[in-house]
Amino acid sequence: MKDLLTPRERFGLLVIDEPQDRVPVFPLLTAHAAVAAGFSLRDYYTNGFTMARAQLAAQERYGIDFISFFSEVGLIAEALGSRYFYPEDDLPYLSEPRWQEPVEPGDYVADPHRDGRLRVYLEGISYAYDACSDRVPIVAYVPAPFTTAQQLLDQEAFLTGLLVSPDRIHHLLDFATRSVKRFAQAIIRAGGLPILVDPLASGSVISPEQYQEFALPYEREVIRYLHRFDLDVVLHICGDTSLIIELMPLSGADLLSVDRIEISQAIKAAGDRCRIIGNYDTTSLLLKSADEIEREVTAMVGQGKNCPAGFVAATGCEVPLATPAENIDAFVRSAKTAGRNPDFDSWRNG
């Protein structure tokens, strides 16, 4: 069935608490888009135009409701001096963090147009913006301060630092926050809606208490900055969020994108204040049959539609690179069908 609204219109209604023709559908097609479009991954994450073309192709191919920009969570850390290895056919990975021990980080702020690969996003956003932003929202994942800080410092030193030298860690987080905000500002000017992504703050990595002390305040600061622009901010934390779901709304986020948590729990804990984005399991998306996926996604959307503040049918995390296209089709198809709103006036039928 042909959609009544464009993704732009649909998202616009969602964020002002109005019913839509169906729930927005948003499998997190990040680097998978490059694979689907036949680009090398290195080209994808080093060339903004390639990233944009891959995302535009994926949006059109799968009929999803967003164009999203993301390669990996180390993007800002790289711009601040951490080193990454760039495989031809895989995503970059951290080869050498900026610091091995907690230090006084100074006051440098990453320049989005000069440092690291930040401009890759900006070029890509500009390209996609010109291409389709009247119809499709352009979103860009911005690594949150906590996740960025963790990429700036040796991981063990960072986790130890949370316990033994919290002040130093806070300095590092302040340092990261300034660059995160600057990058978010550049994304806004390019026409993208920043999504704050903080996977290393999930319950799979730190405790709720640590989340509350080290991640949440910095998420809140960035979100407060974004709210100066009246932007509807998504906070995405993949991994286990069951223990921090009640804390996440305190960040001020307008939409929470969650991964490993019962969707009903997420709705109960936060769905009266935040729209919930979630959360089909990406391993299932990779491995299960199209029929199984359809069944499970239908059930998920059935629950998600009950979220008082609104719901977006998404995957919990990034769609794995090797996911068969028919599985993604099954996800999108079933989410659209299950998410349809029969009460939305249908002008096409007169």
Partner 1 sequence: MKPNLWQDPLPARITFDEWAELFETVPDELIQSFRYFRRPDESESPRVHSDTSNHWSQYLFPPQTFAIYGCRHLRRLKFDNSLAALRLWGFVQNETERLFRARQIGRHVIATMGDLGAVPVIVNSFPDCIAFYPDCSWWTPFVMESKVLLETAAELGIGEATCFSRAALAAFARRAYFPVPEMVIAATGASCDDYSGVEQLVADIARELLWVELPLRRLGTCQTFTGMVYEAQARELLVSEFRRVVERLEHLTGCRVTDEELGRSIRRTNRLRRMVMELRRLAYGDGVLPALEMMVVEFGNLHCYSDPDEWERVVEHLLQTARQRRQANRRVVLEDALRLVWVTPPADPLLLTFVEDRGARLVGTEYVINQALEPIDEEKEPLTAIAESFMAASLIGTSRQRSELIIQQLYANRAEGVVISGILGGSHCAMEARLIADRVKAETGLPVLEFDVAPPAREIDRQLATRIEAFLELLRDKR
Q: Which stretch binds partner 1 (CB under 8 A): 7-15, 26-34, 55-63, 169-177?
A: 7-15
**CB-wise, 93 or 229, nearer to partner 1?**
229
Of 167, 169, 133, 135, residue with least CA distance to 154: 169
Q: Name the one range near partner 1 by CB under 8 A: 35-43, 224-232, 238-246, 331-339.
A: 224-232
Whether residue 136 contacts residue 142, with contact meaning beta carbons closer than 8 Å, is answered with no
List the end-to-end C-alpha distance of the chain, in Å, as a whole number: 15
- Strand 93-96 vs strand 83-85: parallel, antiparallel, or unpaired? antiparallel
| From 97, 124, 192, 203, residue interacting with partner 1 (rule: CB under 8 A) | 192
Q: Measured between alpha carbons, how far is 42 from 33 in angstroms, rounded to an integer?
A: 13
User: What is the Cα–Cα distance from 37 to 168, expressed in whole angstroms?
Assistant: 44
The residues in 134-173 that bind partner 1, with binding defined as CB under 8 A, are: 134-135, 137-138
Of positions 163, 228, 322, 342, contacts partner 1 by CB under 8 A = 228
Q: Smaller CB distance to partner 1: residue 274 or 300?
A: 274
268 in contact with partner 1 (CB under 8 A): no
* Shortest reach from residue 62's CB to partner 1, in Å: 20
* Cα(318)–Cα(6) distance, integer angstroms: 23
| Residue 309 lies near partner 1 (rule: CB under 8 A) | yes
Cα 236 from Cα 147, distance rounded (Å): 12
> Do 42 and 26 contact (CB within 8 A), yes or no?
no
**Contact residues for 9 (Cβ-Cβ < 8 A; gap 6+):** none
**What's the closest the beta carbon of residue 16 comes to partner 1, in angstroms?**
5
Q: Among 88, 107, 230, 343, which residue interacts with partner 1 (rule: CB under 8 A)?
A: 230
Binding site for partner 1 (CB under 8 A): 4-6, 8-10, 12-13, 16-18, 129-130, 133-135, 137-138, 185, 188-189, 191-193, 227-231, 252, 272-273, 308-310, 344-345, 347-348, 350
